[in-house]
Structure 1
């Protein structure tokens, strides 16, 4: 009898220890993936994304998931900081123009990022993939809390891993491990990122880890191995077929990550997020935004409304339908800290919310405003209405009745439009001015590439946006 009591006590203690264990955390970020490019939304007809779908179906997915910006760099800055990136002057991708000659373009070192906070909590931290948040090495991942880094900094890159073509490619356009260039291997980029992610998990399977897996698919250039392009020869136009091939490769490599977690017995206590940095670029990358109006570089929902799914089998019950509350990529940081048991300090100045009570069916989601500002284009939405300015024109939409933004009501409801403009103005008043970007109308000082690199790299070369 005594032995049975001891066995039961050991079981209880082991259960309590397991429940108290810090979860592993993985953020999977796609690049320029449209809302319609995942099959769990029911809009993707040419192929399926079973591994991405499994994250949504094993946990939850949001019908109204939004990115922090309609372009890559600022969106990533918002996600990693948990703040509206406009708070620190990040409105556009890093470009040749700055507010003044003293501006150093990049995600400011003053901002505390998710890995910087988690590493102090005992997490192993690693990043695999595209960075795009600052060209000077002090801005790079291995100086921002990531203990390991394999990837590149540029906005776009050749999809086969190159050392840099005899050093003719700019520093920020080459693949690095930490601060050293990777030798030419000829490996397809998406497959390299999948392999590196699996190897990171293997190295840290006995300790809590945070992995930021930032694929560059399906951002151009549109390139994929023949083993994938051959699957879509029947699809027209050809560029859409290439986009689907890149998507299929990314989904397969996400599958390798999930398989590794299962093999090591880690899946149950790993929280996994999947989303995209912005909406799809219709003619550039031939990604698909479903019925949503607009595309990347616009503040219509086609530029902001993205796939957004989360899985944590130990804590989040699988949902049978999409969650309706509007959520934002800046919510990831607060949610991650809550999952990891991190004390939220005032100095973090988080704008995002903790989604866990909502995901666990413990509470409803209170109404709130969501804000965007990208160069001169702005937007604000609450649970029902969205107000925006795009290319100098003003719009107001009732999203409950018109989710695809087809009926502009600004002339019918001028008081509502004025109210939402005032709310956006009040939010903007607490933000920094735009510090850098690609539009000389917003940042008039032409720093040039050498200037914005702070003279660290001597060659003044153009880069892809």
Structure 2
């Protein structure tokens, strides 16, 4: 199978501009030196030549390290810098916003983990390669990942935490094609042999170092407690709190690779259920509240502490300024309609304690609550500090931005764009004319302030997202021409996908319950 042939291109350099400062004390007119125009021209040319030669001799800015931090089922409201709720405390993540750019209209490409993660790691709409939902796993080996692209540019690549892009129990279509003798369980699922699952793990998708897992079982080629690499990946069982284990692995990778450009993809398994937290984190949130909320806040506090440790590791090695850090979530929080305070030990389809305020809906929906997420970029050497950016952006843009920052050429296969010129103000237009979604029996498009949402074959909605009502008011009847134009765009985009076209069935029972609860 032909994988990506990486060609290392010259990394784009930024040349510092040295300007000599000519200081002159104000003198009486009769004592001022007299310059004729020719002398001024000669002096100006001489200074310009000096500046030009200094620029030629200046050291190019080294390619930035790149750290992409992805949380799991983390709702829009749950960073204190979002200013939506008062009970959350995330000082370290807030510092990323204070030292970088916080995007208030950041979107994922799906309201579910696997398809969303596939878009992050490839920079392409996952529907282009048939991974619309979890059952579409695995991520095809033919797809070129961000890790493979950056590895070709001389980066050391590492992955920590939840991968979720390999064959799984609902990958029935893949199993029937690749394991024809396999049989369905009584619940309609399949038991994929572990050896087949590992064939799609991070180490075959461009990652040099990996610590892939969710709770205590990890497939890894290094020990977070030691600064050494194994020759091959092995399964290991590590005791400890899952968030802290993943932080330890991340800082271990940074310590080992601080002397060269690196890409770290850190995928925290939190606040996804099953909810888990240590007494240390729980005691930070005393008082009366739902226990699931307390645990969700505690898990996010653990993640925030982890971000603090990552920043400390970067500062220890004096590389924070030239590190591009991305922080976002894979989708919105699952509220399960009414945020019931179920027993903490319960996993499966239940509320994870996170909130999507002020947006409507939840994980699984193409309403804002399912797809609009926290999104922050920090790169002290290149991006402004404490900036809020309100134009719609997508997690598709992470790959394109990282590739461009590394000095590599963006090719036409990418659906994302390089956000850097937009965030610095070099470009004043919106990065995207339109953003598109297709998931289960729903489809949607956002263009400017307008969002068109279709549920099954019969339900259509048009929302003005700049209005105070946003998705609380369907304005389709007031603006039918806008809805018609967006429907055409959505249909045209869907024809590029695999399989092509929009959903042809009515919404299922779960989707029906969501839409009835939130949008009617």
Deviation of the 1:402 alpha carbon:
4.0
Q: Work out whether residues 59 and 309 of structure 1, in 8 Å CA contact, stay in contact via their aligned partners in 2.
A: yes
- Counterpart-to-counterpart distance in 2, 1:334 and 1:112: 13
The answer for the alignment partner of 2:187 in structure 1 is: none
Q: 1:289 aligns with which of 356, 364, 376?
A: 356
Which residue in the other structure is 1:273 paired with?
Answer: 326
> What does 1:130-279 correspond to in 2, within 5 Å?
130-135=162-167, 136-152=197-213, 157=214, 159=215, 161=216, 174-178=217-221, 179-183=233-237, 185-279=238-332
The separation in 2 between residues aligned to 1:402 and 1:235, in whole angstroms, is 31
- 2:143 is the alignment partner of 1:111: yes
- Mapping for residues 398-417 of structure 1, pairs under 5 Å: 398-402=464-468, 404-417=470-483
SS where residue 80 of structure 1 aligns?
Answer: helix
| Counterpart Cα distance in 2 of 1:150 and 1:54 | 27
Q: Alignment partner for residue 161 of structure 2, among 115, 125, 129?
A: 129
Q: Which entry has the higher C-alpha Rg, 1 or 2?
A: 2
Q: Secondary structure at the match of 1:37?
A: coil
Check the 8 A contact 2:247/2:306 in 1, yes or no: yes
Q: Tell me which residue corresponds to 2:45.
A: none
| CA distance in structure 2 between the aligned counterparts of 1:365 and 1:289, rounded to whole angstroms | 28
Q: Equivalents in 1 of 2:411, 2:104: separation in Å?
A: 30
TM-score by length of 1: 0.82
Residues 177-212 of structure 1: CA deviation (Å, up to 9, x unaligned): 1442113x3211100111111110010011000000
Measure the CA separation in 2 of the matches of 1:262 and 1:15: 28
Which residue in 1 is equivalent to 2:16? none
Unaligned runs of 5+ in 2: 1-49, 168-196, 222-232, 340-350, 509-520
What TM-score results when the alignment is normalised by the length of structure 2?
0.73
Q: Which of 305, 308, 312 does residue 375 from structure 2 map onto?
A: 308
1:395-446: CA deviations, max 9, x gaps? 1101122463110112232232222111100000000028xxxx9999xxxx
- In the alignment of these two chains, the number of paired residues is 399
Q: In 2 relative to 1, CA 411–441 (structure 1 residues): closer, same or farther, beyond 3 Å?
A: closer
- Structure 1 alignment gaps of length 5 or more: 1-7, 99-104, 162-173, 443-465
Is 2:464–2:470's contact at 8 Å kept on the other side of the alignment? no
Aligned-pair CA distance for 1:44: 2.8
Preserved CA contact (<8 Å) 1:235 1:241? no
- Are 2:437 and 1:384 aligned? no
Q: 1:147 to 1:361 in 2, by over 3 A?
A: same
Which of 424, 428, 442 does residue 364 from structure 1 map onto? 428
- Looking at structure 2, the residues matched to 134 and 126 of structure 1 have their Cα atoms a distance apart, in angstroms, of 17
SS in 2 for 1:182: strand
The CA deviation at 1:263 is 1.2
Q: Deviations over 1:100-119 (max 9, x none)?
A: xxxxx311112111001111
Kindly tell me: are residues 304 and 331 of structure 1, through their superposed partners in 2, closer, same or farther at Cα, counting changes over 3 Å? Answer: same
In the alignment, structure 1 residue 340 sits paired with structure 2 residue 406: yes
Secondary structure of 1:271 counterpart: strand
Taking the aligned partners of 1:254 and 1:196, their CA distance within structure 2 comes to 12
Q: 1:16 to 1:273 in 2, by over 3 A?
A: farther
2:58 aligns with 16
Change (3 A) 1:15 1:191: farther
The secondary structure found in structure 2 opposite 1:426 is helix
> Residue by residue, what CA displacement relative to the aligned partner does 1:76-120 show, whole Å, maximum 9, x if unpaired?
0011111111111111113xxx7xxxxxx3111121110011111
Structure 1: distance between partners of 2:106 and 2:506: 31
In the alignment, which residue of structure 1 is the partner of 2:36? none
Give 1:33 deviation, angstroms: 0.7
Contact 1:61 1:308 in 2 (8 A): yes
How large is the Cα RMSD of the aligned pairs?
2.4
Q: In 2, are the aligned partners of 1:298 and 1:390 still within 8 Å (CA)? A: no
CA contact under 8 A between 2:202 and 2:212: conserved in structure 1? no
- Paired residue secondary structure (1:216): strand
2:397 aligned with 1:325 = no
